């Protein structure tokens, strides 16, 4: 049996039409988005051109869900295609797309690579749309998908899909996942803002409709779990004795400077959060010092130029860092700079930016802004010179505040007391 519907890529992209009312369909429905005209969102979408062609493979059962987001994403991406089914082995167009050079699959798990770590963006991005059991079934029935390079990511902020039950706090809607990946691949998040606005508007309308119902709804929305309950959030309290906050600064030349090579580590600052032991060192530049580096790092040029040899600093760092330590940073820049010098941590580092996004329920901005937003104490003298010292101070203060919030929250939950962050609804 052929388990797909062909020509699903030919959904009309023009002005929405109307399916007339009938006995089985009492409300006029838009032919494009398939929503009642009272909740139609077509007018909010202007198709966006993308370098990467996005191809949605939607499970047949997911196609029946009125509030799914793959159709919305498809209609909002000019070069996208949407196919519905389960077994696509005999589907010529899909097999052609899978076999095309540069094709990749958006699917988390072992071997997946973050979009910002790819050497070059994929030409075709296949996206499975459905519940996790449905997605796993599609993967099992279509082994050609499993052979593709995988792209995975940890969301920078919690999803807004409040009208459907998600298996975990860090799970997001299909449209949210695609926008986050495309923004990273194409380096322009603002271009896809209209898609997210349309999605958010649909969510708000559904919630408003549910609240206005005269009868009791068959299913009530699950209240959001506290931010620290997500499986994407590390146990900061349990890891506290082994956590090292780290900041790295670089000597970086512009692309048109004519100076070969990548940004190089010139300042390394770290602090063991449990004991407040500090590591700090300047590394002698291996390339000419870029103009403006001293001003940018807020460190005298003479200090940077007079840094110590790389091997000497790394030897001291190895004495400071223990095998069971976990590095904690704002993003991965400091760890990446260390990796360029040949040093890699034995355990996966923690990106506190992700934790802060779950806590704030939005993109956290800079580490200093995030620390201020949660009420962390930013007073006191920085433990390292320049911008790195101020960043490290904010990083340590933010980590301590988030740790304390999680400890209090878990204790309250265990005692039967509902505990929420100050800005939770």
> What pLDDT does 11 receive?
42
* Domain assignment present for 309: yes
End-to-end CA distance of the chain: 49
pLDDT along the chain (425 residues), means of 10: 36 48 62 78 84 93 81 90 92 93 88 84 93 88 92 73 51 85 87 86 78 59 71 90 96 82 92 96 94 92 95 96 95 90 92 90 89 91 92 95 91 63 47
> What pLDDT does 148 receive?
93
* Domain assignment present for 227: no
**Are 218 and 248 found together in one domain?**
no
**Are 143 and 263 found together in one domain?**
no
Give SS3 for 22.
coil
**Are 193 and 259 found together in one domain?**
no
Query: How are the residues of the chain apportioned to helix, strand and coil, as percentages rounded to the nearest 5?
Result: 40, 15, 45
Q: CB under 8 Å to 105, separation ≥6 — which residues? A: 125, 126, 127, 128, 145, 148, 149, 150, 151
> What pLDDT does 203 receive?
80
> What pLDDT does 308 receive?
96
> What pLDDT does 9 receive?
39
**Are 377 and 270 found together in one domain?**
yes
* Domain assignment present for 178: yes
The residue to which tokens 């949660």 are assigned: 374
Could you write out the DSSP letters of every residue in 153-208?
---SS----TTS--SSTT---HHHHHHHHHHHHHT-GGGGHHHHHHHHHHHHHHHH
Out of 222, 252, 269, pick the residue that ends a domain: 222
Out of 169, 187, 222, pick the residue that ends a domain: 222
> What pLDDT does 13 receive?
44
Q: What predicted TM-score, i.e. pTM, was given to this entire model?
A: 0.52
CA 108, CA 122: separation in Å to the nearest integer? 16
- Rounding to the nearest 10 degrees, give the CA dihedral for residues 104, 106, 108, 109: -20
**Are 200 and 244 found together in one domain?**
no
Count: domains in the chain: 2
Structure tokens at 377: 């104490």
**Are 296 and 357 found together in one domain?**
yes
**Are 280 and 334 found together in one domain?**
yes
Nearest alpha carbon to residue 245 among 194, 205, 279: 279
Range of 341's domain?
A: 236-414
Nearest-Å Rg of the Cα atoms of the chain is 25
* Domain assignment present for 422: no
**Are 207 and 257 found together in one domain?**
no
* Domain assignment present for 159: yes
> What pLDDT does 213 receive?
65
* Domain assignment present for 419: no
**Are 401 and 306 found together in one domain?**
yes
Question: Are 3 and 86 within 8 A, CB to CB?
Answer: yes
Provide the sign of the torsion angle of the four alpha carbons 62, 64, 65, 66, taken in this order. Answer: positive
**Are 388 and 243 found together in one domain?**
yes
* Domain assignment present for 202: yes
> What pLDDT does 207 receive?
76
CATH number of the domain bearing residue 407: 3.30.420.10
The residue to which tokens 């509030």 are assigned: 67
> What pLDDT does 316 receive?
96
**Are 103 and 208 found together in one domain?**
yes
**Are 202 and 242 found together in one domain?**
no
* Domain assignment present for 231: no
Out of 165, 193, 222, pick the residue that ends a domain: 222
């Amino acid at each position: 049996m052929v388990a797909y519907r062909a020509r699903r890529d030919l959904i009309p992209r023009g002005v929405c039409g109307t399916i007339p009312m009938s006995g089985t369909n009492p409300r006029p429905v838009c032919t494009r988005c398939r929503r009642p005209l009272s909740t139609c969102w077509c007018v909010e979408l202007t198709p966006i051109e993308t370098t990467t062609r996005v191809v949605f493979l939607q499970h047949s059962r997911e196609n029946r869900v009125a509030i799914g987001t793959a159709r919305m994403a498809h209609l909002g991406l000019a070069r996208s295609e949407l196919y519905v089914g389960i077994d696509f082995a005999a589907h010529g167009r899909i097999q052609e797309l899978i076999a095309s050079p540069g094709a990749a699959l958006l699917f988390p798990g072992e071997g997946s690579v973050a979009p910002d770590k790819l050497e070059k963006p994929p030409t075709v991005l296949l996206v499975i749309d459905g519940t996790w059991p449905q997605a796993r079934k599609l993967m099992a029935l279509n082994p050609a998908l499993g052979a593709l390079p995988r792209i995975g990511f940890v969301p920078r902020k919690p999803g807004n899909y409040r009208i459907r039950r998600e298996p975990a706090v860090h799970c997001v809607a299909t449209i949210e996942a695609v926008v986050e990946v495309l923004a990273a691949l194409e380096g322009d998040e603002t271009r896809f803002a209209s898609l997210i606005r349309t999605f958010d508007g649909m969510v708000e309308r559904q919630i408003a409709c549910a609240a206005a119902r005269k009868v009791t709804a068959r299913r009530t929305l699950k209240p959001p779990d506290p931010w620290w309950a997500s499986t994407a959030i590390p146990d900061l309290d349990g890891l506290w004795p082994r956590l090292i906050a780290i900041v790295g600064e670089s000597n970086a030349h512009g692309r048109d400077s004519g100076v070969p090579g990548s940004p190089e580590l010139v300042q390394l600052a770290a602090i063991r959060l449990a004991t407040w032991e500090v590591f700090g060192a300047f590394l002698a530049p291996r390339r000419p010092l870029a103009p403006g580096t001293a001003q940018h790092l807020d460190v005298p040029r003479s200090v940077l130029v007079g840094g110590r040899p790389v091997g000497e600093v790394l030897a001291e760092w190895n004495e400071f860092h223990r095998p069971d330590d976990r590095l904690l940073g704002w993003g991965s820049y400091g760890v990446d700079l260390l990796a360029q010098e040949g040093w890699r941590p034995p355990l996966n580092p923690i990106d506190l930016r992700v934790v802060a996004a779950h806590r704030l329920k939005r993109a956290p901005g800079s580490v200093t802004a995030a620390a201020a937003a949660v009420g962390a104490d930013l007073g006191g003298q920085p433990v390292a010179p320049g911008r790195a010292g101020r960043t490290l101070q904010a990083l340590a203060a933010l980590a301590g505040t988030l740790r304390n919030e999680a400890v209090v929250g878990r204790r309250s939950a265990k005692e039967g007391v509902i505990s929420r962050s100050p800005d939770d609804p």
